[in-house]
Chain A
Amino acid sequence: MKKYLAVLKNSFQANLIYRFNFFFYFLSQFISFGILFYIWTSIYYQGGKIGSYELADMIFYYLGAIFIGVVAKGMDVAWQIGDEIRMGQLNAFLLTPINYFWRKFFSFFGGMVFRSFVASLLFITGLYFLAEKFNFQFSLAKISSFLFLVFLSYLLNWLIFYIVGISTFWFGFVWALNYSVQVTANFLEGGLIPLDLLPSWLNMLNNFLPFKYIIFVPVSIFTGRLEITWSIFIIPLVWVLFLYLLAKLLFKVGLKKYEGFGG
């Protein structure tokens, strides 16, 4: 366990060193939010509703979506892992007595914790400004469910992109798949537009995928749009377990292929 803590500390430290990275990343998220703000205020220029969303609902939705985006997606998991495999740096990792999967997991975990601190501050600030325009009932149940779901979002996203990263064993180069999955996942998660505004056939398909639990469901729980039931937690947990097993399996298979090249 101690060695994993060391990895964690290292990644936390590494985050401090890249000071500009950190600053610019948050700035770019802020700008993304700003642009969404402009887009939706333009659309709502004459007031009214889009689906069941009023302007304030929409703004809040995206605030939540960006918060989750920062916490769960702030690092390019697939790119790093894919690069390590492509450059043959895997050998060094395989020789150490630390399991590759967990080592990677903890090395990214530190970054997530770090980002969550800052993101939470900004999120709460945003909430403060919006709460006035907005009938929002804060409840402990909603907030704790939300936080737990955000943590699950992180796990789901991490696992998905871990799998994308190890696809390098077969494709040699992760960029294309990574980009495709990022764009598609973002859409299916409700990151581009709230899922309940999309046609029902799309939503039906989406029920068979884990994506909606990454952004849409947590945010909707927080706003009270969705009710808190057991399935809200069980289903993503099942997905986490499934993806974890899949990841382990694929890594094993891929490693055999990798070793076939003599490394």
Chain B
Amino acid sequence: MKVLAAKTKKYWRVFLLLQHVGLMNRMAYRINFFIAFFAVLSNMVFTIIFLRVIFGFVNNFSGWGYYQALVVAATFMIIDGLLWVLCSYLGSISNHIKNGSFDRFLVSPIDSQFFISFWRGDSEDSVRIITGMALLFYAIGHLSLGGEVLLFGKLFLYLILLFNGFLIAYSIFLFLRTFSFWFIDVNSLSGLGNSLFNAAKYPATIFRHKITRIIIFSVLPLAFLATVPAKILTYGFDWILVASSFLVAGIFLWMSRRFWLWGIKKYTSASG
């Protein structure tokens, strides 16, 4: 038990250190921070404009109202922000393998998946999380979700489900990036992943066909990223969805880790 506590402490300290180092690294390029902020902001603005225009003509987007749809978009932005802040480094795995600088992740006495996921702490990207939260509170402000206590409870559950969504998104990205062990250039595969990921910005109810519905809720659980947390928050408790959220998150975390470890095994026995 003591060993576990010490280990947790070690990983937590390394994590904080990586975030700190990452921030210092980014400070090296100041002006880009402002441009990046503008990029994040404009992305949000365009999404809002899109929804506004749509709702200018209809008042029902696949069963969702305007502010409810904004909650979905905000949830997506927060998850996107979390991915950027905590584990943007996954994108560079293939570069490291190409340059031969991946070895450090194998030689150091720390879990390779942890190390490479959090290697670049990008605290600056927390601006994405903040804008997402601002949008969230703006949207909630226009909905009647109950008294203080009820609202607090709903938000708490919402945040947990959001975190599940983050874990699922993380697992999917890790899974895609693990292909770097076999293919030098996984950028287009990741591009594919990105296209799919961006679909999660919209309520999953848009997928009317039975087959796509099933896919969105299982094999490629985009629904659990933004739609499910938003639904629980704005439309009410549904224990099946909540339980499924945990189940899917657990399964995906486990699968992506297994695949990652397998990738390492293959990499160390094959390459040069």
Which A residues are closer than 8 A to B by beta carbons? 18, 20-25, 27-29, 31-32, 35, 38-39, 41-43, 45-46, 48-51, 171-173, 175-177, 179-180, 183-184, 187, 192-193, 197-198
Q: In the complex the two chains form, is A39's CB within 8 Å of B202's CB?
A: yes
Least CB distance from A168 to B in Å reads: 11
- Assess A38 versus B32: contact at CB under 8 Å? Given A21-B187, A25-B188, A51-B57: no
Q: In the complex the two chains form, is A179's CB within 8 Å of B46's CB?
A: no
Is chain B's binding surface mostly helix, strand, loop or mixed? Answer: helix
**B214 interfacial contact with A, CB 8 Å:** no
Complex Cα gap A118–B189 (Å)? 18
Complex Cα gap A161–B68 (Å)? 36
- Assess A42 versus B189: contact at CB under 8 Å? Given A20-B183, A28-B195, A32-B195: no
Chain A residue contacts of B33, Cβ below 8 A: 176
Complex Cα gap A27–B189 (Å)? 9
Chain B residue contacts of A43, Cβ below 8 A: 54, 57-58, 61-62
Least CB distance from A249 to B in Å reads: 21
* A-B residue pairs in contact (CB < 8 Å), sample of 11: A22-B188, A31-B192, A32-B195, A45-B62, A46-B60, A176-B32, A176-B39, A179-B36, A183-B39, A187-B42, A197-B53
Chain B residue contacts of A50, Cβ below 8 A: 54, 57-58
- Assess A187 versus B46: contact at CB under 8 Å? Given A22-B188, A51-B57: yes
Least CB distance from B144 to A in Å reads: 25
Least CB distance from B21 to A in Å reads: 17
Q: In the complex the two chains form, is A173's CB within 8 Å of B191's CB?
A: no
Chain B: interface residue count, which band?
A: 35 or more
Q: In the complex the two chains form, is B50's CB within 8 Å of A193's CB?
A: yes
Residue of B nearest to A197 (CB): B53
Q: In the complex the two chains form, is B32's CB within 8 Å of A173's CB?
A: yes
Chain B residue contacts of A48, Cβ below 8 A: 57-58
Chain B residue contacts of A24, Cβ below 8 A: 188-189, 191-192
B residues 198-215 touching A (CB-CB < 8 Å): 198-199, 202, 205-208, 212
Q: In the complex the two chains form, is B206's CB within 8 Å of A42's CB?
A: yes
Q: In the complex the two chains form, is B42's CB within 8 Å of A183's CB?
A: yes
Which residue from A18, A42, A184, A193 sits with its C-beta under 8 Å from B185? A18
Q: In the complex the two chains form, is B46's CB within 8 Å of A183's CB?
A: yes
Chain A residue contacts of B202, Cβ below 8 A: 35, 39
Chain B residue contacts of A41, Cβ below 8 A: 206, 208
Complex Cα gap A253–B58 (Å)? 51
Complex Cα gap A171–B31 (Å)? 7
Which residue from B35, B43, B192, B212 sits with its C-beta under 8 Å from A177? B35
Least CB distance from A86 to B in Å reads: 11
Complex Cα gap A32–B50 (Å)? 16
Complex Cα gap A39–B212 (Å)? 13
**B38 interfacial contact with A, CB 8 Å:** yes
Q: In the complex the two chains form, is B192's CB within 8 Å of A42's CB?
A: no
Residue of B nearest to A170 (CB): B31
Q: In the complex the two chains form, is A42's CB within 8 Å of B32's CB?
A: no
**B29 interfacial contact with A, CB 8 Å:** yes
**B8 interfacial contact with A, CB 8 Å:** no
Q: In the complex the two chains form, is A172's CB within 8 Å of B195's CB?
A: no
- Assess A173 versus B207: contact at CB under 8 Å? Given A28-B191, A42-B61: no
Complex Cα gap A51–B46 (Å)? 19
Q: In the complex the two chains form, is A180's CB within 8 Å of B189's CB?
A: no
Complex Cα gap A39–B194 (Å)? 17
- Assess A192 versus B189: contact at CB under 8 Å? Given A38-B207, A43-B61, A46-B58: no
Residue of B nearest to A187 (CB): B46
Least CB distance from B201 to A in Å reads: 9
Q: In the complex the two chains form, is B62's CB within 8 Å of A180's CB?
A: no
Chain A residue contacts of B32, Cβ below 8 A: 171-173, 175-177
Q: In the complex the two chains form, is B205's CB within 8 Å of A42's CB?
A: yes
Least CB distance from B131 to A in Å reads: 14
Complex Cα gap A33–B36 (Å)? 27
Q: Mark B210-248, 1 if CB is under 8 A from A, else 0.
A: 001000000000000000000000000000000000000
Complex Cα gap A39–B199 (Å)? 9
- Assess A28 versus B50: contact at CB under 8 Å? Given A38-B206, A42-B205, A176-B36: no
Least CB distance from A207 to B in Å reads: 18
Q: In the complex the two chains form, is A192's CB within 8 Å of B191's CB?
A: no
Chain B residue contacts of A38, Cβ below 8 A: 206-208, 212
**B196 interfacial contact with A, CB 8 Å:** yes
Residue of B nearest to A32 (CB): B195
